[in-house]
A and B are shown apart, each in its own frame.
Chain A
């Protein structure tokens, strides 16, 4: 296999620790092939050689203590070796270097958000190449797990806890990340802002890690704290709607989803689950995003996770500006 290229069994090695994991993987693989071929070919040979023939009887089973002790004890040495290599590799991918950049990863049904060291928050994961990056992973609702096959790393996102993993990406480009812990799905599809049917759930919590130069990474993090250059506040809000995957539950075409549609929402008078009514204005939108279960519109379930700590004032303003454009 060429240096770090994808093989038939494993994806391309894109982090500094991938090579040692793959080496051990292939060691176990060839060990297994040897054992398997040994056992199965012996079995097939015996089945053929000692097939039942008229007049030929089986030989009584004897004892061979040395042989039995041998195959009980010999594997122990191999197993200790496997444990040792596996544990050594595990410590390497578990203990992050002290100078690692920390990115906070938050899982929610059904998307991820990433908070960068400067406080900027995005639905996209960008990391600099050739720098150790430590992900501090948590969840606001149920269990999720953050998994990047190209880096050979995975960690559960447990609500109320922080899990850690780290990697050092070795190649500029993009690679897939996934949610690896089952976390359900929406009951019905919604439509995204292009009008396409979208199913959301565990399986849709994947995306791409953007590995880029240090400069590009810094520029990306810088721009997080507001609209891009030349982007209006409304466009900024629309981008946030997409990046934070609001479309999972809130359509913009009037179709009801898990939550009320955003179309014509601003200025509407909604009946709440306790029978009272409320005028949808800036204050109601802000409170619904930060404290979503407080005032539920009648006919909907209190299932929306809070975006407190994820969306800040400038971003809330962007979303409100975007909502005003949806008549």
Chain B
């Protein structure tokens, strides 16, 4: 059996490939110049968590302002800046880079049994492009602010005061980071799989990241072009979108959603990918319908490209386009449904342990189901006309993005935390924080569904008294979730400072990434692993064996399983 995988570029920042990656180099410079995918993953993790914190603070302030009608804590203009920053930071600085950049970077090569990603230098470059883009975006806050909403609809965005250009250029730059990460992962999955890891044995997390990468590479350039055109119009008066200059504002919406709808799948598919891993590990059972779940990620990636017009049912696009986009939009329900059904069936006859990561996976299952089903109201034309641009839409996409992806991210973070840090955390406290997050999240957004269907438009600074109870309820929910996140921050800090040392495989998973030490050695595995089984072959091991990692002898027996 071949034992040599394609060698990654010479790392330079290591002397002993067989020592713990955290100790493989010392000092700040060994981090800033690292080519190790794990360290780059950790740097992404820290940056995206900071972005999540900033976006979260803006969300709490926005909800606080909406606690009562009229002025509560800020003026209308400040409010508009706040919700724009919340959206832009959460979408571009947190949710898009979070799972691929942080968890994907760390885990994907390990799942493949590889020493690193295919292009480690490109990987580091893509992190620095992210940092550079993020600085550009955040500069806009101090240089006049942006109040266009994260969607930058023209002609408002080309005529509004403030520093829209900093924000759009920042997002333009961030796009390159996203494209390079996607490219890197595609090549890595194709070229660096360990011997024996054929496509039918690929972990579902890898399938999900692969589908995501395809979208990142294909869709992001369109956003780049769109934002560049917008910037040219704003700075040089080039007439593309503004009718006063001979442009067409609806064209901007087509361009914008041609990226931003596929981007929805850049956000949700990684979350789904993590949930598949969590459900398998904590049910001790292969995902039901492995092939269907893997293909549904690719299906979502492809269908995601042809449904952008459903954001524009009231915009004045042609009625034929509206009809076609509505019909195509319903196709999204098929792969989404396949995933949910297969996940539920995976639980059947499993051996289920309700650890914190599993609780997040189950929260994903419940909340994504609500997010998906409420999508039916919006894909259906006549009901969408009423619900479009109301709080119903806000609640719907938060159920998918936050109720789905963020739950997946948190579940994945807590699942791989012992692997990444080598430390265990306080599970009781972590479960309590999950409880606050779950209750708070649902309180915030269930109330928003009802106010939306009752006719409350989104992005309103002030509202009529009839909506007061729903807004107040939603705001109280935001306090509950804030408590949940504070407890979680405490759990993680405490784990770093005084957590017990983690064994190699604390959850008893059959996943390949658990077959090495916690934290992993610099090149992930002391020897290049040879894969002789699938990542979910739980039926071959006793409980005791699972806790010491999956035994190689047992693996031989499952050679011809697939």
Query: Within 8 Å CB of A149, what residues of B?
Result: 386, 454-455
* B341 on interface, CB distance cutoff 8 Å: yes
Interchain CB contact under 8 A, A28 and B383: yes
| Bound Cα distance from A79 to B248, whole angstroms | 33
| Bound Cα distance from A42 to B458, whole angstroms | 35
Contact with B along A16-27 (1 / 0, CB 8 A): 000011001100
Query: Within 8 Å CB of B341, what residues of A?
Result: 39, 71
Interface-lining segment among A200-208, A229-237, A278-286, A312-320: A200-208
Interface residues of A in 133-155 (CB under 8 A from B): 141-143, 145, 147, 149-150, 152-155
Interchain CB contact under 8 A, B333 and A156: no
* B205 on interface, CB distance cutoff 8 Å: no
Interchain CB contact under 8 A, B462 and A203: yes
* B32 on interface, CB distance cutoff 8 Å: no
* A187 on interface, CB distance cutoff 8 Å: yes
Query: Within 8 Å CB of A39, what residues of B?
Result: 340-341, 344, 365, 369
* B352 on interface, CB distance cutoff 8 Å: yes
Contact size range, B:
35 or more
* B42 on interface, CB distance cutoff 8 Å: no
A50-B350, A86-B381, A187-B77 known; A35 and B149 CB under 8 Å?
A: no
B284: nearest chain-A partner, CB-CB: A58
Query: Given B348, B351, B381, which contacts A89 in the complex, CB threshold below 8 Å?
Result: B381
Interface residues of B in 488-545 (CB under 8 A from A): 536, 538-539, 543
* B147 on interface, CB distance cutoff 8 Å: yes
Interface-lining segment among A122-130, A177-185, A239-247, A267-275: A177-185
A46-B350, A50-B350 known; A141 and B155 CB under 8 Å?
A: yes
Query: Within 8 Å CB of B539, what residues of A?
Result: 57-60
B79: nearest chain-A partner, CB-CB: A185
Interface residues of A in 162-187 (CB under 8 A from B): 163, 176, 178-187
* B230 on interface, CB distance cutoff 8 Å: no
Interchain CB contact under 8 A, A11 and B316: no
A39-B369, A154-B386, A203-B461 known; A28 and B80 CB under 8 Å?
A: no
A76: nearest chain-B partner, CB-CB: B334
Interface-lining segment among B103-111, B258-266, B320-328: B320-328
A57-B351, A68-B289, A90-B322 known; A145 and B382 CB under 8 Å?
A: no
Query: Within 8 Å CB of B187, what residues of A?
Result: none
* A189 on interface, CB distance cutoff 8 Å: yes
What count of chain A residues pass the 8 Å CB interface test? Answer: 87
Interface-lining segment among B22-30, B189-197, B372-380: B372-380
Query: Given A40, A58, A158, A163, which contacts B349 in the complex, CB threshold below 8 Å?
Result: A58
| Bound Cα distance from A160 to B251, whole angstroms | 13
Contact with A along B259-289 (1 / 0, CB 8 A): 0000000000000000000000001111111
- How near does chain A come to B253, taking the closest CB pair, in angstroms? 9
Interface residues of A in 196-217 (CB under 8 A from B): 199-204, 206
* B413 on interface, CB distance cutoff 8 Å: no
Interchain CB contact under 8 A, A32 and B352: no
* B463 on interface, CB distance cutoff 8 Å: yes
A36-B370, A145-B389, A199-B71 known; A90 and B382 CB under 8 Å?
A: yes
Query: Within 8 Å CB of B288, what residues of A?
Result: 61
* A72 on interface, CB distance cutoff 8 Å: yes
* A43 on interface, CB distance cutoff 8 Å: yes
- How near does chain B come to A281, taking the closest CB pair, in angstroms? 29
Query: Given B243, B316, B340, which contacts A156 in the complex, CB threshold below 8 Å?
Result: B316
- How near does chain B come to A318, taking the closest CB pair, in angstroms? 29
Query: Within 8 Å CB of B155, what residues of A?
Result: 141-143, 159
Q: Which of B76, B353, B390, B462 has the most CB of A within 10 A?
A: B76
Interchain CB contact under 8 A, B382 and A93: yes
Query: Within 8 Å CB of B248, what residues of A?
Result: 160
Interchain CB contact under 8 A, A93 and B243: no
Interchain CB contact under 8 A, B362 and A47: yes
A90-B381, A152-B386, A158-B250 known; A184 and B450 CB under 8 Å?
A: no
A42: nearest chain-B partner, CB-CB: B344
Interchain CB contact under 8 A, B159 and A142: yes
Query: Within 8 Å CB of B386, what residues of A?
Result: 21, 25, 149, 152-154
- How near does chain B come to A20, taking the closest CB pair, in angstroms? 7
* A326 on interface, CB distance cutoff 8 Å: no
Interchain CB contact under 8 A, A184 and B283: no
Interface residues of A in 83-97 (CB under 8 A from B): 83, 85-94
| Bound Cα distance from A180 to B323, whole angstroms | 22
A20: nearest chain-B partner, CB-CB: B382
Interchain CB contact under 8 A, B330 and A79: yes
Interchain CB contact under 8 A, B389 and A154: yes
A9-B450, A39-B344, A58-B285 known; A154 and B377 CB under 8 Å?
A: no
Q: Which of A11, A59, A93 has the most CB of B within 10 A?
A: A59
Interchain CB contact under 8 A, B461 and A154: no
Interchain CB contact under 8 A, B286 and A60: yes
| Bound Cα distance from A109 to B377, whole angstroms | 31
- How near does chain A come to B350, taking the closest CB pair, in angstroms? 5
| Bound Cα distance from A149 to B463, whole angstroms | 14
Interchain CB contact under 8 A, B383 and A75: no
A10-B454, A24-B382, A160-B243 known; A40 and B366 CB under 8 Å?
A: yes
- How near does chain A come to B81, taking the closest CB pair, in angstroms? 10
Query: Within 8 Å CB of A20, what residues of B?
Result: 382
Query: Within 8 Å CB of A93, what residues of B?
Result: 382, 385
Interchain CB contact under 8 A, A60 and B538: yes
Contact with A along B205-233 (1 / 0, CB 8 A): 00000000000000000000000000000
- How near does chain A come to B247, taking the closest CB pair, in angstroms? 9
Interchain CB contact under 8 A, B461 and A201: yes
A46-B350, A87-B326, A161-B316 known; A176 and B464 CB under 8 Å?
A: yes
Query: Within 8 Å CB of B461, what residues of A?
Result: 185, 199, 201-203
Contact with A along B64-99 (1 / 0, CB 8 A): 000000010001110110000000000000000000
Query: Within 8 Å CB of A9, what residues of B?
Result: 450, 453-454
| Bound Cα distance from A55 to B384, whole angstroms | 52
* B33 on interface, CB distance cutoff 8 Å: no
Query: Given A57, A75, A147, A200, which contacts B337 in the complex, CB threshold below 8 Å?
Result: A75
A71-B338, A154-B386, A202-B460 known; A82 and B376 CB under 8 Å?
A: yes
| Bound Cα distance from A265 to B214, whole angstroms | 62
* B433 on interface, CB distance cutoff 8 Å: no
A147-B457, A180-B389, A181-B153 known; A8 and B464 CB under 8 Å?
A: no
Interchain CB contact under 8 A, B75 and A40: no
Query: Given B347, B454, B463, which contacts A43 in the complex, CB threshold below 8 Å?
Result: B347
* A56 on interface, CB distance cutoff 8 Å: yes
* A31 on interface, CB distance cutoff 8 Å: yes
Q: List 28 A-B contacts (CB under 8 A).
A: A9-B450, A10-B453, A31-B373, A32-B374, A40-B366, A58-B285, A59-B539, A60-B286, A67-B345, A68-B338, A72-B334, A79-B333, A80-B330, A82-B376, A86-B382, A87-B327, A90-B385, A142-B155, A145-B314, A149-B455, A150-B455, A156-B316, A158-B315, A160-B248, A163-B316, A180-B457, A187-B161, A200-B76
Supply 20 further A-B pairs (C-beta < 8 A) apart from A50-B351, A57-B351, A71-B338.
A9-B454, A25-B453, A28-B376, A29-B377, A39-B344, A51-B352, A57-B284, A61-B286, A85-B382, A86-B382, A87-B326, A94-B319, A149-B455, A155-B316, A156-B315, A158-B316, A186-B76, A199-B462, A203-B461, A206-B464
Question: Which A-B residue pairs are the 4 nearest by beta carbons?
Answer: A149-B455, A89-B382, A160-B243, A86-B380
B contacts, CB < 8 Å to A: 71, 75-77, 79-80, 147, 149, 153, 155-156, 159-161, 243-244, 248-250, 283-290, 292, 314-316, 319, 322-323, 326-327, 330-331, 333-334, 337-338, 340-342, 344-354, 362, 365-366, 369-370, 373-374, 376-377, 379-386, 388-390, 450, 453-455, 457-464, 536, 538-539, 543
